[in-house]
Amino acid sequence: MTERTSEHEGWFDGLDRGDTEAARNAIESRAADMPREWPALAVESGFVASEAKYYDALGAATRGTARAAATERERADDQQLIHAVRAMDDADRTANELAERVAEWAGSRFEAAEPGIEGARTVAERDPREPADERLIDLAARVVALDEEAIRLRAFVERVAGDVAPNLAALAGPVLAARLIALAGGLKPLARKPSGTLQVLGAEEALFAHLRGQAPSPKHGIIYTHEYVRGTSREHRGSAARALAGKLTIAARVDYYSGDRRPELDDELDARIERIRARDERGGGESRS
């Protein structure tokens, strides 16, 4: 509902006092080339009884609008982050798949072909002798370029994740934060999930198998990639995953609902994990395999 009204109207013209949504809409979408004596005009038009009242109304309207618009704009970036992290994964996966193809092909033509992106890089630097070399070397050069694009995408994700979700990015690391947001479909849906759901995000297949009665319940989804889960002994990994998921849930909620950075969340998580890991040192407990 954008309105472009007459150049001579102030933000308050035609508004009901207290209609915050209409005030926001007017502040955001009206325009005027020149300023006018708005306080006096607002009194004249009957919008307010006095200039003092005008400034009260202006304060409420500008603060409400700036707060809502700033929050909305930050949140909108979560969709860009999702595209970028998915593109990053696609570029990574495709580069590696094509690198395999290059290695296999190169093995049939040159001796000692290395596998992977590094192998493709070596192939890309060769001089072609035959038409088949040309195609192979060209393909290898694409693999290298695609890998470089994946690196640039990662740098972008690392930067934007901190803007979109500063606390989540600090606790999870920016890439895992971006993946969690992508798996949930956005920061808002992530912030609304209970911590048990966040804990198994990315493990949907295992979860469905469990629900069908074919498998034990998964203890962790993508948060497994976090050092605090992976680096905790098998026995205590479930507790670590639960603790991490709990803090990440809080972080996502703070990011969505307030956006302030709360460094104390980092400390709390560190302390929790330290306590969990200390159980190992206290005589190891009853070790299961």
Binding site for other proteins (CB under 8 A): 9-11, 26-27, 30-39, 55-56, 58-59, 62-63, 65-67, 69-71, 73-74, 163, 259
Contact assessment for residue 43 and residue 51, using Cβ atoms and an 8 Å cutoff: yes
Nearer to other proteins, 105 or 156 (CB): 156
Q: What is the closest distance, in whole angstroms, from the C-beta atom of residue 165 to other proteins in the complex? A: 12
Using CA atoms, how far residue 124 sits from 132, 135, 146, 160, in Å, is 13, 10, 13, 32
Q: Give the span between the Cα atoms of 248 and 225, in whole angstroms.
A: 14
Nearer to other proteins, 56 or 97 (CB): 56
Nearer to other proteins, 119 or 166 (CB): 166
Q: Which position has the token pair 């005030």?
A: 23
Q: What is the closest distance, in whole angstroms, from the C-beta atom of residue 72 to other proteins in the complex? A: 8
**How many residues does this entry show for the chain?**
289
Nearer to other proteins, 63 or 135 (CB): 63
Instruction: Decide: residue 109, CB within 10 A, 0-12 exposed, 13-18 middle, 19+ buried.
Output: middle
Q: What is the closest distance, in whole angstroms, from the C-beta atom of residue 189 to other proteins in the complex? A: 21
Cite the DSSP H helix spans in 165-201: 166-172, 174-184, 187-191, 195-200
Q: What is the closest distance, in whole angstroms, from the C-beta atom of residue 215 to other proteins in the complex? A: 43
In terms of Cα–Cα distance, which of 64, 55, 148, 53 is closest to 99? Answer: 148
Q: How far apart are the first and last CA of the chain?
A: 62
The 3-state DSSP class for residue 17 equals coil
Contact assessment for residue 91 and residue 149, using Cβ atoms and an 8 Å cutoff: yes
Q: What is the closest distance, in whole angstroms, from the C-beta atom of residue 182 to other proteins in the complex? A: 21
Nearer to other proteins, 75 or 279 (CB): 75
Q: What is the closest distance, in whole angstroms, from the C-beta atom of residue 22 to other proteins in the complex? A: 14
Nearer to other proteins, 27 or 141 (CB): 27
Using CA atoms, how far residue 5 sits from 87, 95, 159, 245, 253, in Å, is 42, 53, 39, 49, 38
Long-range pairs, 36-41, Cβ under 8 A, ≥24:
36/8, 36/10, 38/10, 38/11, 38/12, 41/10
Nearer to other proteins, 66 or 278 (CB): 66
Nearer to other proteins, 74 or 268 (CB): 74
Q: What is the closest distance, in whole angstroms, from the C-beta atom of residue 36 to other proteins in the complex? A: 7
